[in-house]
Amino acid sequence: MVAKYKAAIIGHTGQGDYGHGLDLVYKDMSDVAVVAVADPDPSGLEAAVIRCQAERAYSNFNEMLEKENIDIVNVCPRTLVHHAEMVKAVASSSARALFCEKPLAATLAEADSMLEACREGEVRVAVAHRRANPYEQLAKRWVDEGRIGELQVLRARGKWDRRAGGEDLAVLGPHMMDSMRYMAGAAVKWVHAHVQKNGRSVTAEDAHIGNEGIGLTAGDQIAAYYAFENGVTGHFESLPNHACTSRNTRHFGFEAHGTEGILSLRNSPNGEMYFYNDGLFIPDDEVAWERVYIDEWEAIPINERTHHSNVCIVKELLDAMEEGSDVVQASSGKDALAAQEMIVAVHESQRLGGRVSLPLVNRENPYSFWLDAGAT
């Protein structure tokens, strides 16, 4: 069978590698052929060619994009150091679709320019957020159908591990911000947040370069309040808890509180959903949490479920590419930008000492702006 689409993979061994399996998404898709892989690390490139069953190998992604006639490109590295350069190169290539690892960019200015390049190049974008997980799709249907009554509040958390605070927000926050927007079904009007370090409010002097190319960040504790345009409110918290057990991973997730019930989504490692049949949670025996199961999903081996989520994203992206539309169930470039803005707004609120309206005026890193202004 001749593949309908040609794909290219961009990785960077040692600097974000290939993300959460973005390089392997096509292994079970007979209508897509991986024609090329780019990776500046020789051993990493050799392994990726074998792993992806790619036809050709390149040490430079720009050369690959110039020479290959492709339909879709996966920008896989988790590290943000080269994301903007990679995405803009894809936008000026023959590609019509882009599947990108999260977070989208280190700053809003970068994200703005990346998405503008994709608009000009007519490249459809999907970002690897967790809302493609079947449990989150089911939860969205339940919310929209009124299974928990009227949605009132969303409460989200990071993993609260060694990265608690700024890094937890930057690395895992994109999933939670995207999920809250998706469940709320509305944009955020304003954000008010408090960022602390060792129990005190952070200042510009606390800023440091975070891991994975996220740029300047600060804090080991974050509390953020989000006001959505439709009256729903959202909360995000990240607290220091260095136990770093499997419970940190399962703690990562959010609750959707309605007038008649509550949904709890545990986003890692591969999705769990619980239902509480009352709008008021009381830890007694009158009402108990019920585990919700999707049998088809549970039948998939645990180590294959992230792959299946990625496949769902890519299939929708290819359809969107053909239709000239944006993805809806998966997270689009616009969705990823909005999630990133919710994250940056936390630190901008800390810098300004109050609530901030969206869209943000400052598109640069708040701590860079703070340091440049000489504030402490």
Q: What is the pLDDT of residues 235-271, one digit of tens each?
A: 999 998 766 666 667 788 999 999 999 999 987 667 8
Please write the tens of the pLDDT for every residue from 165-203. 999 999 999 999 999 999 999 999 999 999 999 999 999
pLDDT at residue 246, as a whole number: 66
User: What is the average pLDDT value for the chain, to the nearest integer?
Assistant: 94
Q: Where residue 89 falls among pLDDT bands split at 50, 70, 90?
A: very high
Q: Which domains, ranges and CATH numbers included, belong to the chain?
A: 5-101 (3.40.50.720), 132-304+338-369 (3.30.360.10)
For residue 144, pLDDT over 50 is answered with: yes
Q: Which of 143-152, 158-167, 196-205 has the lowest mean pLDDT?
A: 158-167
Q: Quick: pLDDT tens for 94-124.
A: 999 999 999 999 999 999 999 999 999 999 9
Tell me the pTM. Answer: 0.95
SS (H, E, C) the chain: CCCCEEEEEECECCCCECCCCHHHCCCCCCCEEEEEEECCCHHHHHHHHHHHCCCEEECCHHHHHHHCCCCEEEECCCCCCCHHHHHHHHHCCCCCEEEECCCCCCCHHHHHHHHHHHHHCCCEEEECCHHHCHHHHHHHHHHHHCCCCCEEEEEEECCCCCCCCHHHHHHCHHHHHHHHHHHHCCCEEEEEEEEEECCEECCHHHCEECCCCCCEECCCEEEEEEEECCCCEEEEEECCCCCCCHHHHHHCEEEEEECCCEEEEECCCCCEEEEECCCCCCCCCCCCCEEECCHHHHCCCHHHHHHHHHHHHHHHHHHHHHHCCCCCCCEEHHHHHHHHHHHHHHHHHHHHCCCEECCCCCCCCHHHHHHHCCCC
Q: What's the pLDDT tens digit per position in 364-375?
A: 999 998 988 774
Average pLDDT value for residue range 49-55: 96
pLDDT above 70 as % of the chain: 97
